[in-house]
Amino acid sequence: MNTRSCPDRFGLMALIAALVLLIAAVALSLVPPPAQAASLTRVTNFGTNPTGLNMYVYVPDRVAPRPAMLVMVHFCGGSASAVHNGNGRDYVTAADRLGYVIVYPEATRDGHCFDVSTPNALRRNGGGDSTGIMSMVSYARQRYNADAARIVVAGFSSGAMMTNVLAAQYPDVFSAGSAFSGVPAGCFATTNGSLWNSQCSGGNLLKTPQQWGDQARAMYPGYTGRYPRMQLWHGTTDTTLAYPNFGEELDQWTNLHGVSRTPVSTDQPQPSWTRTRYGTTGTTATIEGISIQGTGHSLPMAGMLAYSIAFLGLDKPPTTTTTTTTTTTPVPAGGCKVTASVSAWNTGLTETITIANTSAGAVNGWQLRFTLPGGQTITSGWSANYSPTSGEVTARNADYNAQIPPNGSVQIGFQATHTGDSAAAGEFTLNGERCAVG
């Protein structure tokens, strides 16, 4: 037996083994890491934010083309993560399945409640919490190419109160709302700077449907368009925001929609639930109220968010953006004003344009013409149809925002590429009338 052959053989085997391990290590290094799973993400610099709210978004791994957008507003003492990982979790799992985007406003003041009380908070573009939330909506609508006809809002307790306020102040933005344990828009109004109204919370602030409707209409004076569909939930033994507020909410929204306060249908989806529908029936009724017998301030409960998701239309396909066939109305001289703001980076930008009707009459159907700086080309847009994509552009209203009421406004925007000049568009005319810029 050759005594040298075994050590040589073992040495050769060791060398081969080392080479195999080296090849395996190299191969593993060439394999890309697994994609990071979708998670709750903080967004900064999203726009005007007068009260210092935080913004978080959840974008599922598979986003639908032109996705719906849910604005999810937390409860007093809550946070974005509290609803994302807690009692709003069913919205998240549905987003993973249906591909919609969730925007989470987060209150940062002591107590983490949303302001639905002060004068600034109860006026469209008034500089309160709702102003910051709408900046989040505009940012996300552009960033994720959201379906402007499927932007909806839902909230719990303080978030439910904000849901009512947002739907009243921005009826041209939201298509539907779902409020769990809330109060009518404006019910929590105060004049001393306090964010708490004991008369309202106790269910002792009672008004007629017309009075509640007028209070909501005062948040967006001059608006004559449609209001969002509303779904309202309340427990009969709620002592935090007392149960009479449920009836007052129904009074307000039936009045805003101009439908009878007498329900068109009544049923019990669950043994302790009583559901009433107003205006129309079906899953996407005009107004839906669900009263939960023997339940306090603890909504939502298991199974409720599935009904909310269906009511809000989050399970529906994207809408088709169309141009209205309404004949455009003339705009009086000096009857319009345009404000444009740009956020630019490298070779891209987004531009938000606010069109204000400063005349005494409504504008029904509109075309806004403007000139883009040289080198800019529109790649996508929202709330209008744009053509051509460079030079002198005409933005034509979508079917849902054709009317601009007296002293009202609409907001549109687009994303564009540029070759160095990222300035805002100029030379604005509305239905042929030159607009002031400012």
Catalytically active residues, by annotation:
157
How far apart CA 275 and CA 179 sit, in angstroms, is 14
Strand order in the sheet with 433-434: 384-387, 392-397, 367-371, 426-430, 433-434
CB 302 within 8 A of CB 320: no
Of 410, 407, 286, nearest to 357 (Cα)?
407
With 0-12 / 13-18 / 19 or more C-beta atoms within 10 angstroms meaning exposed / middle / buried, residue 29 is exposed
Of 154, 160, 123, 159, nearest to 245 (Cα)?
160
Residue 204 dihedral angles phi and psi, to the nearest 5°: -105, 5
How far apart CA 35 and CA 33 sit, in angstroms, is 6
Question: What is the SS3 assignment for 366?
Answer: coil
Question: What is the SS3 assignment for 268?
Answer: coil
Between strands 433-434 and 384-387, the pairing is: unpaired
End-to-end C-alpha distance for the chain, whole angstroms: 99
Q: Please, which residues have CB within 8 angstroms of residue 344's CB and are 6 or more apart in sequence?
A: 418, 422
CB 60 within 8 A of CB 140: no
Taking each helix axis from N to C terminus, what angle separates 89-98 and 304-312, rounded to the nearest 10 degrees? 50
Long-range Cβ pairs for the range 91-95 (8 Å, 24+): 91/154, 91/305, 91/308, 91/309, 92/58, 94/305, 94/306, 94/309, 94/314, 94/315, 95/58, 95/60, 95/70, 95/314
In this structure, what token pair is assigned to residue 222? 């001059």
